[in-house]
Structure 1
Amino acid sequence: MFRRALRLCSELAALAALWWVGGWIAQLTGLPVPGGVIGLALLLVLFACGAIRPALLQGGAGLLLAEMLLFFIPALMSLLDYGPLLRSEGWKILLVIMSSTVLVMLVTALSVEWMCRWRSSRG
């Protein structure tokens, strides 16, 4: 039990360190990209070059994903302050959210398909 908790804490610390390093890089370079996005890019590079195996961070990432709703509750509660805006412009906001979601899904699917074809042609 203690060993499992220690492993989980170390995985969460590693993920937080990547987030912190990403924020530091964003601040240092002045990039208009959130530090978390840069941290995820660093994690992807570490996975791609084999420096870190995804299984090493699986427990911490799983915990964060399981508790993801806690990260969104403050944002959802702040919507209550903007009732008049949502009543007048809500359909436009919903349209942007829906179209951007479809666009992200489409680009992700095409990227995965392209990568699978590229890898199968190499090997």
Structure 2
Amino acid sequence: MALAISPRRMGMLQRLGLPLQLVLYISVFVGCDRLVNWLHLPLPANIVGMLLMLVLIVTRIVPLGWVKAGSNWLLAEMLLFFIPAVVAVVNYGDLLRVEGWRIFLVIAISTLLVLASTALVVDRVYRYEVARAACKQGNNA
């Protein structure tokens, strides 16, 4: 005899999914923050937490479906997390008027460097994979 979940109970489980996923994210962050402080790691807790979540997802301890809705919601509401940056811009308006062009120049150059280095790495990895696939195909023939 199979156990059936009623549609009402299924709807309640779906509504609780997002808050439970957010609790999971917060718990991982708090745990990693304590771990970083305890071990005196030179990395911020959010980086350690992302690495931990990556390991949990890759090893399938935490299925990707369990964290998908929470991550989609966080990405959709990302502007909310940038409000402190907007407040800083408002508080330091004089600095931006005087030195804003230099700040913008540094941001623009660093963004271009990151984009260029990312493109270079992706190109090199792609070429490596193509050569590896061709070598593998040549060995099989």
What TM-score, normalized by structure 1, do the two folds share?
A: 0.79
Distance in structure 2 (CA, Å) of the matches to 1:51 and 1:15: 15
The equivalent of 2:38 in structure 1 is 28
Among candidates 42, 47, 50, match of residue 40 of structure 1: 50
Rg larger in 1 or in 2? 2
| Residue 15 (1) aligns with residue 3 (2) | no
Structure 2: 5+ residue stretches without partners: 1-10, 137-141
In angstroms, what is the RMSD of aligned CA positions? 2.6
Distance in structure 2 (CA, Å) of the matches to 1:11 and 1:118: 38
**% of aligned pairs identical?**
37
Instruction: Give the number of equivalent residue pairs.
Output: 123
The equivalent of 2:79 in structure 1 is 69
Distance in structure 2 (CA, Å) of the matches to 1:116 and 1:8: 36
How many angstroms does 1:81 deviate by? 1.2
How many angstroms does 1:98 deviate by? 2.2
| Residue 82 (1) aligns with residue 87 (2) | no
Structure 1: 5+ residue stretches without partners: none
- Of residues 111-120 and 52-61 in structure 1, the stretch that sits farther from structure 2 once superposed is 111-120
Q: Label 1:111 to 1:17 Cα distance change in 2 as closer, same or farther (>3 A).
A: farther
Query: What SS does the corresponding residue of 2:100 show, helix, strand or coil?
Result: helix
Residue 93 of structure 1 aligns with an amino acid whose one-letter code is: I
What TM-score, normalized by structure 2, do the two folds share?
A: 0.70
